[in-house]
Structure 1
């Protein structure tokens, strides 16, 4: 038996209300360019809108002019999507509270997640959105996932409850030690003063 090996998210499709609500939220609030539209090929009464979340992948929305926005929180039952986390830079994140407030969008305020900071709010249809900003940059040639895997190992070995910035810093150092060569025979920490 062999796996069907994933290589990233191709796209995520959400059920939207009317077309303009989707455009106003995904592009007008979150800044995702509206890049493509065609009919929903499985339902002729719906449109299929495509937005670029910033990494070239896609978030798509099925829309119908017969559906109106309902801000009631979407289902959190088993099998439902709890929320969608969107990566933003620290510069954008530092402005998020102000920019949500100026639109009158209720939000959670900044939440400390140890390895990232988060703000939660709902879209016009009650779907929970998270703005997430990493607290670290991975070493060149590595990914955020690699740093988190290494930080997890360090956290577990230390018996700590959750990942903290010290685990991230140690993980980055460990990855660099493995991936980048040095002319030094001894790369351990030194007292230079």
Structure 2
């Protein structure tokens, strides 16, 4: 199985940029609650807003724009209405559904407890596997990633996820990609 990009030498994700309603609240959450160092702040020209960057480890960053005239989020369109285990996961085409930060899978319970202690509403721990529903009741050899979901103050769906095995089993890549014609709209 060849997994080398022969077109571009990509080194990972430099940053993902989201939009927030309140930069101070965003800094308080990502730096204060999640502990991500604020590494760069930019005041955009012409009163267009701000652009701030947080270090998420591994040379990667999470960025936020604050625009004074940004429209409000519309849950179920711009972002999912709830965390996956509490309802819906759907969001609109071209929206960002969620951001997942890589964590050690054996620390998921500890991190859930820490978030709850900080007052963050957190979904249940999910052990993702290839069963019909896609979630196992516990951590087994068939679980490929363990995760938990929560939302930031603007409703951005955030996930802590930890791979539990290499993704190299015969069934790991085997689904035919769906097309726009398959949509229910």
Q: Give, in whole Å, the separation in 1 of the partners of 2:68 and 2:30.
A: 17
CA gap 1:125/1:35 in 2 versus in 1, 3 angstroms: same
| Paired residue secondary structure (1:12) | strand
Q: Give, in whole Å, the separation in 2 of the partners of 1:71 and 1:106.
A: 20
Q: Give, in whole Å, the separation in 1 of the partners of 2:94 and 2:124.
A: 27
RMSD value, Cα:
3.0
Aligned to 1:61: 64
- Which of these residues, 160, 169, 173, is aligned with residue 131 of structure 1? 160
Q: Give, in whole Å, the separation in 2 of the partners of 1:100 and 1:5.
A: 36
**Structure 1, 124-133 or 96-105: larger mean CA deviation:** 96-105
Deviation of 1:106 after TM superposition, in Å, equals: 1.9
Contact 1:70–1:124 (CA under 8 A) maintained in structure 2: no
| Paired residue secondary structure (1:28) | helix
Aligned to 1:51: 54
CA gap 1:156/1:87 in 2 versus in 1, 3 angstroms: closer
Q: Give, in whole Å, the separation in 1 of the partners of 2:118 and 2:69.
A: 26
Q: Give, in whole Å, the separation in 2 of the partners of 1:102 and 1:156.
A: 36
Instruction: Answer 1 or 2: which has greater helix percent.
Output: 1
Aligned to 2:23: 19
Q: Are 2:44 and 1:40 aligned?
A: yes
Matches within 5 A, 1:1-193: 3-4=7-8, 6-40=10-44, 44-64=47-67, 72=75, 74-75=78-79, 76-90=91-105, 92-113=107-128, 114-136=143-165, 147-148=166-167, 150-151=168-169, 153=170, 155=171
TM score, norm. by length of structure 1? 0.62
- Deviations along 1:169-190, one digit per CA (max 9) or x if unpaired, are xxxxxxxxxxxxxxxxxxxxxx
Aligned residue pairs, count: 143
CA radius of gyration, larger in: 1
- Deviations along 1:25-63, one digit per CA (max 9) or x if unpaired, are 11112221101111235x633111011101111111112
Contact 1:18–1:65 (CA under 8 A) maintained in structure 2: no
TM score, norm. by length of structure 2? 0.65
